[in-house]
Amino acid sequence: MPHLVILYTPNLEAQTNMTALCRALADTMLALKDESEKPVFPTGGVRVLAYPAAHFAVADDGTAGKAAGGDGDYAFVYLNLRMARGRSAATQQSAGEALIASARSHFAALFEKRHLGLTLQIDEGPEVFDARQSNLHPIFQKG
Amino acid sequence: MPHLVILYTPNLEAQTNMTALCRALADTMLALKDESEKPVFPTGGVRVLAYPAAHFAVADDGTAGKAAGGDGDYAFVYLNLRMARGRSAATQQSAGEALIASARSHFAALFEKRHLGLTLQIDEGPEVFDARQSNLHPIFQKG
Amino acid sequence: MPHLVILYTPNLEAQTNMTALCRALADTMLALKDESEKPVFPTGGVRVLAYPAAHFAVADDGTAGKAAGGDGDYAFVYLNLRMARGRSAATQQSAGEALIASARSHFAALFEKRHLGLTLQIDEGPEVFDARQSNLHPIFQKG
């Protein structure tokens, strides 16, 4: 049900392990509990997909970054989680806080080294139609 | 007007023909009729774009999939159709049912062979601004 | 804060300079002023990311395009700007008009040569959670 899509500038591709970030965020989602200590997301429904852009432009042309001692090459990571309707505001907040903490931790070293922006937004899906098919969910209900 | 964007795990790239899926879904959209037997979407406005992720994480680390006799490599396909406001709920439902049927048919053989999840969601565009330019529409109004 | 994501058919990759389009659109966003002559977007918050699809289908199978004297290979560019809530409708409109003008200008020559559709939609972010970390903003507040 939840989809976390990561869009990022390709200048990060060689500087960080995005597969590791995907796994860390998925694990964060899997560990989330709601007010009644139930998992917020079903295991089989957790999906994180990351996409480097082919082309991009961030902020100015690099002038300010160079003036600030950087190389003028800005990076950006956008994390967008879409979850189904009906979860409490408290659950949405705690999910967001856990995910941004996980992302900040992943990028902590890189923030020391380069110009980088990180944004996480959570949307409640506004879908007017929803259908699915999966042979994933059953394997997490066994045993 | 309608955009169908497909996001999927890259482990599917060699296992299915995604261009064929795009064409099948576009043809499904082109064949849709509303309650008064008019086409739901204009021919020149039908667009399907598919994107394999560069990095991903789905569900657990593969443990449950292996325990269930799979290889622990989960796949996922997310189909998101954005259509303009103003269509009836019945039209939205029949569009959704036709598209998920088309996607299920495309992946039927693969569902027998691997762990795979498929989700289709339709959104009514919430845009606050909309502009376009196209030399496509006129060619479908000739003849 | 604003993210402009461009999704496009890969048949445009060799026909236009998408990095130049990203820069032109970012510059357009940076130049926008609201009713009180303040910048609409902070410099460090302007991000444009462009993604060619790996697979696609547009309109019919090419029959109409060939009948109209083209090669039946349709192209499509979708520009989606997501901005934070709270800006006036007038600001949203003028942002949209400036951006579509910039995109039209970029593609003007290509519109003469091939079948191409261009759509810009602006959404007001419906997020239920928003968090960010950036070392970009401060460098644009210096001097």
At residue A143, the pLDDT reads 44
Angle among Cα B113, B114, B119 to the nearest 5 degrees reads 120
At residue B2, the pLDDT reads 76
Tell whether A18 is within 8 A of chain B (Cβ).
yes
Inter-residue contact A95 to A29 (CB < 8 Å):
yes
B16-38: pLDDT as tens digits: 999 999 999 999 999 999 999 99
At residue B143, the pLDDT reads 44
Q: What is the mean pLDDT of residues C36-51?
A: 95
Average pLDDT taken over every residue of chain B: 95
Q: Which residues on C lie below 8 Å from B140 (Cβ)?
A: 59-60, 64
List the single best residue of A55, A97, A104 to mutate versus C (max C Cβ within 10 A). Answer: A55
C104-118: pLDDT as tens digits: 999 999 999 999 999
At residue C138, the pLDDT reads 85
A87-110: pLDDT as tens digits: 999 999 999 999 999 999 999 999
Query: Three-state DSSP class for C69?
Result: coil
Q: What is the mean pLDDT of residues B78-90?
A: 95
Q: What is the mean pLDDT of residues B49-76?
A: 96
Inter-residue contact A25 to A15 (CB < 8 Å):
no
Nearest chain C residue to B44 by CA distance is C59
The position carrying tokens 């890969």 is C10
Report how far residue B132's alpha carbon sits from residue A44's, in angstroms, rounded to the nearest whole number.
39
B34-56: pLDDT as tens digits: 999 999 999 999 999 999 999 99
In this prediction the ipTM stands at 0.96
At residue C26, the pLDDT reads 98
Q: What is the mean pLDDT of residues A57-61?
A: 96
Report how far residue C140's alpha carbon sits from residue A89's, in angstroms, rounded to the nearest whole number.
34
Are B26 and C59 inside 8 Å of each other by CB?
Answer: yes
Q: Give C36's pLDDT tier (boundaries 50, 70, 90).
A: very high
Element (DSSP H or E) covering residue C20: helix C18-31
C51-100: pLDDT as tens digits: 999 999 999 999 999 999 999 999 999 999 999 999 999 999 999 999 99
Of residues B3, B51, B132, nearest to C118 (C-beta): B132
At residue A138, the pLDDT reads 85
Helix, strand, coil percentages, rounded to 5, for chain B: 40, 30, 35
The C-alpha of B140 sits at a distance from chain C's nearest C-alpha, in angstroms, of 6
How crowded is residue B131: how many other Cβ atoms within 10 Å of its Cβ? 19
Query: By percentage, how much of chain B surpasses pLDDT 90?
Result: 92
Nearest to B47 by CA among B88, B107, B4: B4
Q: Give A142's pLDDT tier (boundaries 50, 70, 90).
A: low
Of residues C55, C76, C115, nearest to B139 (C-beta): C115
At residue A33, the pLDDT reads 96
Q: What is the mean pLDDT of residues B107-124?
A: 96
Q: For residue C39, is pLDDT > 70?
A: yes
Q: For residue A141, is pLDDT > 90?
A: no
At residue B107, the pLDDT reads 98
Tell whether B100 is within 8 A of chain A (Cβ).
yes
Are C139 and A115 inside 8 Å of each other by CB?
Answer: yes
Query: By percentage, how much of chain A surpasses pLDDT 70?
Result: 98
Q: For residue C6, is pLDDT > 70?
A: yes
List the single best residue of B23, B128, B140, B141 to mutate versus C (max C Cβ within 10 A). Answer: B128
At residue B1, the pLDDT reads 58
Q: For residue A8, is pLDDT > 70?
A: yes
Q: What is the mean pLDDT of residues C35-60?
A: 96
At residue A137, the pLDDT reads 85
Nearest to A6 by CA among A19, A15, A14: A19
Q: How far is CA A18 from CA A4, A132, B117, in A?
A: 13, 27, 22
The C-alpha of A69 sits at a distance from chain B's nearest C-alpha, in angstroms, of 31
Are C121 and B130 inside 8 Å of each other by CB?
Answer: yes
Q: How many CB pairs below 8 Å do chains A and B form together?
A: 131
- What number of H helices and E strands is found in chain B? 3, 6
Are A119 and C142 inside 8 Å of each other by CB?
Answer: no
At residue C1, the pLDDT reads 58
Report how far residue C31's alpha carbon sits from residue C37's, in angstroms, rounded to the nearest whole number.
10
Q: What is the mean pLDDT of residues B59-87?
A: 95
Report how far residue B7's alpha carbon sits from residue B120's, in angstroms, rounded to the nearest whole number.
11
Q: For residue A71, is pLDDT > 90?
A: yes
Average pLDDT taken over every residue of chain A: 95
Query: By percentage, how much of chain A surpasses pLDDT 90?
Result: 92
The sheet that has C3-8: what strands, in order across it? Answer: A55-58, C47-52, C3-8, C75-83, C116-124, B129-134
How crowded is residue A20: how many other Cβ atoms within 10 Å of its Cβ? 12
Q: Give C143's pLDDT tier (boundaries 50, 70, 90).
A: very low
> Which of A 27-46 lie inside 8 A of B, CB atoms?
30, 43-46
The C-alpha of A135 sits at a distance from chain C's nearest C-alpha, in angstroms, of 25
